[in-house]
Amino acid sequence: MKKTFSHLSKDGDAKMVDVGGKLATNRFAHARAIVKAPQNIINELKANKGQTKKGSVFQTAIIAGIMAAKKTGELIPLCHPIGMDNCDIAIKINKKDRIVIDCKVSVFAKTGIEMEAMTGASVAALTIYDMCKALSHHIVIKTVKLVEKTGGKKDFKSS
């Protein structure tokens, strides 16, 4: 069977996917964003444990990411508004001095939750940019990607 865009009608019009006949299952998604910042920002974050005049960079980014994940259905036009059973965001600086944001979400629902995970990771990355831009605008959000999803028609795990 040929795959088609799920959010387009046979006439090419935008449409919301009908999940009315689907069974609710436990859904999980993990998204990751990677932020590259100049070394002076990385050094400041390490030296001050993320504390700035605006507050804790990572804690603020975590809260922003969770808030965004909860509002995904309002931000992405054809995304179903669903609740979340859990949203966990972890942020660390890896060995390559990249800021790694992992957003893991879960829900018991009729539709997937990967957009909530990707939105949470994206907004956490944007919040880090916002809180660090006074030191440099040479901050790059390198990657936002789905790492894993389970509980729908097919599971996914990136390589």
User: Cα separation of 62 and 117, whole Å?
Assistant: 12
Assigned token pair, 125: 């990355």
Instruction: Count Cβ neighbours within 10 Å for each residue of 34-56 and write b for 16 or more, e otherwise.
Output: bbbbbeebbebbeeeebeeeeee
List the one residue out of 53, 52, 144, 48 whose CA is nearest residue 99. 144
Pick the catalytic residue from 11, 18, 130, 155: 130
Selection from 123, 143, 102, 131 nearest residue 44 by Cα? 131
Query: Among this protein's residues, is 85 annotated catalytic?
Result: no
Tokens of 74: 């309002």
Beta bridge partners of 61: none
> Residues with catalytic annotation?
130
